[in-house]
Amino acid sequence: MGGDVGVGGRDGDGIEREYRKRRKAPRGWLAYLGLMVVSCLLQISSPTGRSWERAVLLTFFAAVVVQGVLFMYRARTLMDRRGVVVRGFVIERRWAWHDVYDFRAQSLPKAPSFGRKWLVFLYDTDGRRFLLPHVDDWQLDDPPAEVDELRAVAARHRGTAWEPRPATEAHILRRTAHRKAWERAVIGALIVFVCTSLVLVVLTITTDDPPTPLLLLWVPLAAFAPIAAFLHWRCARAVAHA
C-alpha cells in the first residue's frame, strides 16, 4: 500500500488513506523550475520589448512556478469511510463512495525524463475523470498495483465489487475523444504560434514596426478555433460509429 494509514483505521471516522508528498521531487523537475525562474528574470531585465509583453511573460512564468510548488506541497488525496477527497492547490472536491465509478492508471510513455510516467484518475458515475494528486510514480513504486487496492477499498465501502456499466463507459469514451480533440487543437495552435514567431523574427529584422500582437496572439487564436471545431466534429462522428 502506498498511501499513509490514518488514525481512524478501517472502521473509524478518520482518514483511511492519505496520498501526499513523501519523496523528494526529481532533480530534473527542480532544474526545469529553476530554468523557468531564470528565463522569467531575464525577460524582465531585458531592455528590449514592450512593457506589456514583459508583464504577460512574467505572469505566465510566475503562474507555472506557483502552481507547481503549491501542487507539490498542498495537494493530496484522502480516503475515509465517507468517500474520496481531492485537495488541489486551490479547491477541494469530495465524492461519496456510491458516486465513484472506477480508478484507472494512465501510462505516459512520451513524458520527459523528469516528468511523471504514471498518473491515476478517479472516474465518477457520469464518466468524468479527475486526477488524484500524488497517486503517481513519483510517490508510489507501482501505481497500477495501487489502483487494484483502491478498487478493493471502494468495493468494501460500497458493499459490491466493481462491474462495468455500458452507459458510463460510453460517457468515458465520448469524453476521452473530446479531450484528445482539445489537446490536438492546442498542439495545432502551438505549431501556428511557432511559425508566426519565426515570421516575427524576420519582420523584426526587416521592418521597424512588426505586428507583434497579431502574430503572437490573434493569428494563433484564429487558427485554434477552426482546428478545434474540425477535430470535435471528427471525434463526434468517430464515437457515433464506434
Domain boundaries, the chain: 15-158, 166-240
Residue pair 19/132 in contact (Cβ under 8 Å)? The answer is yes
Looking at residues 207-231, what average pLDDT do you find?
Answer: 89
pLDDT digits (tens, 9 = 90+) for 168-208: 999 999 999 998 999 899 999 999 999 998 998 899 889 88
Closest listed residue to residue 101, CA positions, set 162, 48, 183, 175: 162
Instruction: Report the percentage of the chain scoring pLDDT > 70.
Output: 87
For the cut 80, the answer to whether the pLDDT of residue 240 exceeds it is no
Confidence of residue 1 (pLDDT cuts 50, 70, 90): low
Range from 132-136, 198-202, 229-233, 234-238 carrying the lowest mean pLDDT: 234-238
Quote the cell numbers at residue 70: 503549491
Task: Provide CB contacts within 8 A for 231, sequence distance 6+.
Answer: 181, 182, 184, 185
- The model's pTM is 0.74
Q: Give the pLDDT of residue 167.
A: 94
Positive or negative, the Cα torsion across 102, 103, 109, 110? positive
What pLDDT, on a 0 to 100 scale, did the predictor assign at position 63?
81
> What is the predicted pLDDT for the residue at 67?
82
Let me know if 168 is exposed, middle or buried by CB neighbors in 10 A (0-12, 13-18, 19+).
Answer: middle
Sequence-distant (≥ 6) Cβ neighbours of residue 203 within 8 angstroms: 210, 211, 215
Write the pLDDT tens digit of every residue in 28-40: 777 877 776 776 6
Element of type H or E holding 231: helix 219-240
Per-residue model confidence as pLDDT tens digits over 44-84 = 666 655 677 677 777 877 787 788 788 888 899 999 999 99
Average pLDDT over residues 214-231: 92
